Copies of this chain bind each other. A is one copy, B any other.
């Protein structure tokens, strides 16, 4: 039937239940790998595998020998110089965010690059300080080092305090590196996919706000100390507000001028991107000019501006670790590890797609872990990659990490030799340069509107991430945001739009019955669609919807029937009701409807299947019963559950489905499940879902199969020959009933007449 007949859909095949389909079409027996098979493969050993592992762990061994010196060295050289100059400036500027002396930013721009050169798999990213990460480290520094200085800032030795700050920053960096290394070694780098795009966007925007606020201190040149998370941002603003009259006007003016220049030139760079060979390196120009002017006019003495001051020449010995700091920054270090890697990986992925080479997430984690451990040990702070600096490296022609290595050489030259040239540079210039990098991040506010139109939940994630990160600080805010984001996944399926389906156009198409005009609904059949996975958070809701859709609560009906049965038995005993072999006649008129109380144990009996074995006939509950017995009508005989969108279910869902389906079966409603996924039947079997009342034969391939089956069943039920046990039934009998759920065609049962 697969050959097309014009543009016609023509099918003729048997009606299939899952069972009959399985009988007709043999399944291939497939060997599913067990856990031990996987282990065996994982721990198997061969020379090839060993070599692969070696090149995976040390990627440089695979690319450096094949490096085309002739073609690439020049562009890597040019790119390395440019990137190195930017790295120096960004290192100095972002060190202010960490609240450590600017010189330490140079270390952060040096050590990690060297390590990444050996272990990294991305060819284009420029490893080094990143504002968001710097402010996260700064958060820890202000939490653990600044408090010792709260209130009496003059009395504590400034140098000691700086050393303490560097120690805290280095320790948290080291710990973050250890986390990254562990995540990479355990091959669980995939956890960063929990940081969705909306979350990262909201988070970095909030981080930009934090950066702006923290840089105000340097722009106004005001002492602000002792603000800790949560709510540090408001505390900082308040402290600045209170001292605003002490602003150093020279610093403020310089910063504003620099900001304007940087913004304008960046705008030009953006607008004439296509025409410019490389973007104008405006940061470099303004730094050189600002340093020159500051030196020439002696700003430091004239206006008392804060300058970088003496940069320590050369490298320092490894940091002494403080175990107490280690313990109290575990959470922050983990956040830093995750954010640092997530940012770097997303940038690396952009270039890997653009230039079509593979990067290895877990190896990247190992590379960043080692970079941070090494950098932290030598008094640097946590690094990732800066989008702008990577852009410089790539756009100036960087082909491999050789460019990165050369940029580290430039940084080294500054550290070892020409650092003194930067001494007269104002800190407020650095602050302005740091702010100049934030435009892109702050522009992300536009996303709120776009996301709102596209997807409300994504928009909510953005807003909640932004607000919680601004208010609670970056580390706690990130944890809260991830929690919320996971919750949105539950939200999306928590209140599914359950619908009743009907046949549209009398073929095999079933759609929401409310949506179409020419619908056909087989009498006594309800088709219910669960449009989501079923689990603890939505199964009660779906059950309610199902009960609302069929119009009655099967458990309640079952209880009423059992109560009625009890009453009938009592009446029979008392002789108020006489019975023939097929019906009964009420001999007493004006019976009272005494709804007597049942004691606790008997209540449970009401939930059992109706048992009419001791009666010589069966009762049609929908027919007229004696006047004092009232049982709700059940207008349906079949319930078809469309499970094609139920991608999984859990134990809670299973339990409630089982209960509910059982209740339906007990009030003589057949339940069919259609469109179940592969493996559902096996899982249900394993969970002891099936029993006397619920059988695997309830599964059908499609809605249409089940509907056809139901319609056929109705006809079969009328022909007594096919069902010998029903032979005593005939039309015209009173209270003719059908308990085993196979005979329910009310059209064929003549309405019963009660005789009083």
Q: Mind listing 11 A-B residue pairs with CB under 8 Å?
A: A1-B507, A4-B711, A11-B508, A25-B505, A193-B537, A198-B651, A356-B556, A486-B486, A497-B678, A531-B677, A644-B645
| A50 interface hit (Cβ, 8 Å) | no
| A650 interface hit (Cβ, 8 Å) | yes
Q: Which of chain B's residues has its CB closest to A458's CB?
A: B651
Question: Which of A206-214, A427-435, A515-523 interfaces with chain B?
Answer: A515-523
Chain A 176-214 per-residue mask, 1 if CB under 8 angstroms from chain B, else 0: 000000000000000001101110000000000000000
Q: Which of chain B's residues has its CB closest to A488's CB?
A: B650
Residues in B whose Cβ lies below 8 Å from that of A647: 492-493, 496, 531-533, 645, 647
- A67, chain B: closest CB distance, angstroms: 14
Question: 20 other contacts beyond A9-B16, A194-B536, with CB at 8 A cut-off?
Answer: A1-B507, A2-B507, A2-B708, A4-B711, A8-B14, A9-B705, A16-B509, A25-B504, A30-B514, A71-B597, A196-B535, A196-B536, A455-B650, A458-B652, A493-B533, A493-B647, A511-B678, A531-B647, A531-B677, A532-B648
Q: Which of chain B's residues has its CB closest to A503's CB?
A: B2
- Cβ contact within 8 Å between A707 and B2: yes
Q: How far is the CA of A402 from the CA of B8 in the complex (A)?
A: 71
Chain A 585-619 per-residue mask, 1 if CB under 8 angstroms from chain B, else 0: 00000000000010011011000000000000000
Within 8 A of B (CB), among A435-493: 451, 453-455, 457-458, 483, 486-487, 489-490, 492-493
| A159 interface hit (Cβ, 8 Å) | no
- Cβ contact within 8 Å between B675 and A644: yes
Residues in B whose Cβ lies below 8 Å from that of A339: none
- Cβ contact within 8 Å between B9 and A516: no
- A390, chain B: closest CB distance, angstroms: 13
Q: Which of chain B's residues has its CB closest to A687's CB?
A: B454
Do A11 and B14 contact each other (CB < 8 Å), given the known contacts A493-B647, A711-B4? no
Q: How far is the CA of A708 from the CA of B11 in the complex (A)?
A: 11
| A394 interface hit (Cβ, 8 Å) | yes
The size bracket of the interface on A is 35 or more
Do A455 and B701 contact each other (CB < 8 Å), given the known contacts A12-B10, A486-B489, A603-B355? no
Partner of A3, one of B492, B512, B556, B711: B711
Residues in B whose Cβ lies below 8 Å from that of A600: 394-395
| A547 interface hit (Cβ, 8 Å) | no
Q: How far is the CA of A655 from the CA of B454 in the complex (A)?
A: 11
| A576 interface hit (Cβ, 8 Å) | no
Residues in B whose Cβ lies below 8 Å from that of A532: 533, 647-648
Q: How far is the CA of A198 from the CA of B489 in the complex (A)?
A: 20
Residues in B whose Cβ lies below 8 Å from that of A644: 644-645, 675
- Cβ contact within 8 Å between A10 and B7: no
- A685, chain B: closest CB distance, angstroms: 11
Partner of A194, one of B537, B555, B654: B537
Partner of A13, one of B8, B516, B556: B8
- Cβ contact within 8 Å between B2 and A522: yes
- A705, chain B: closest CB distance, angstroms: 6
Q: How far is the CA of A661 from the CA of B600 in the complex (A)?
A: 62
| A162 interface hit (Cβ, 8 Å) | no
- Cβ contact within 8 Å between A652 and B486: no
- Cβ contact within 8 Å between B506 and A2: yes
- Cβ contact within 8 Å between B453 and A194: no
Q: How far is the CA of A704 from the CA of B701 in the complex (A)?
A: 14
Do A28 and B514 contact each other (CB < 8 Å), given the known contacts A7-B712, A499-B678, A647-B647? yes
Partner of A701, one of B2, B356, B509, B597: B509
| A21 interface hit (Cβ, 8 Å) | yes
- A653, chain B: closest CB distance, angstroms: 10
- A230, chain B: closest CB distance, angstroms: 12
| A274 interface hit (Cβ, 8 Å) | yes
Residues in B whose Cβ lies below 8 Å from that of A540: 193
| A152 interface hit (Cβ, 8 Å) | no
Within 8 A of B (CB), among A525-545: 531-533, 535-537, 540
Partner of A517, one of B15, B26, B197, B395: B26
| A49 interface hit (Cβ, 8 Å) | no
Top 9 A-B pairs, shortest CB-CB distance: A196-B536, A13-B507, A486-B486, A458-B651, A532-B647, A454-B687, A4-B711, A10-B12, A11-B11
- A480, chain B: closest CB distance, angstroms: 11
Do A197 and B9 contact each other (CB < 8 Å), given the known contacts A489-B489, A712-B4, A715-B4? no
- Cβ contact within 8 Å between B504 and A603: no
Partner of A516, one of B28, B193, B354: B28
- Cβ contact within 8 Å between B645 and A677: yes
Q: How far is the CA of A458 from the CA of B649 in the complex (A)?
A: 10
Residues in B whose Cβ lies below 8 Å from that of A701: 509
| A379 interface hit (Cβ, 8 Å) | no
Residues in B whose Cβ lies below 8 Å from that of A511: 678
Chain A 674-716 per-residue mask, 1 if CB under 8 angstroms from chain B, else 0: 0101110001001100000000000001001101110110010
- Cβ contact within 8 Å between A678 and B515: yes
Residues in B whose Cβ lies below 8 Å from that of A715: 4
Q: How far is the CA of A711 from the CA of B394 in the complex (A)?
A: 47
Q: How far is the CA of A66 from the CA of B536 in the complex (A)?
A: 37
- Cβ contact within 8 Å between A678 and B512: yes
- Cβ contact within 8 Å between A687 and B453: yes
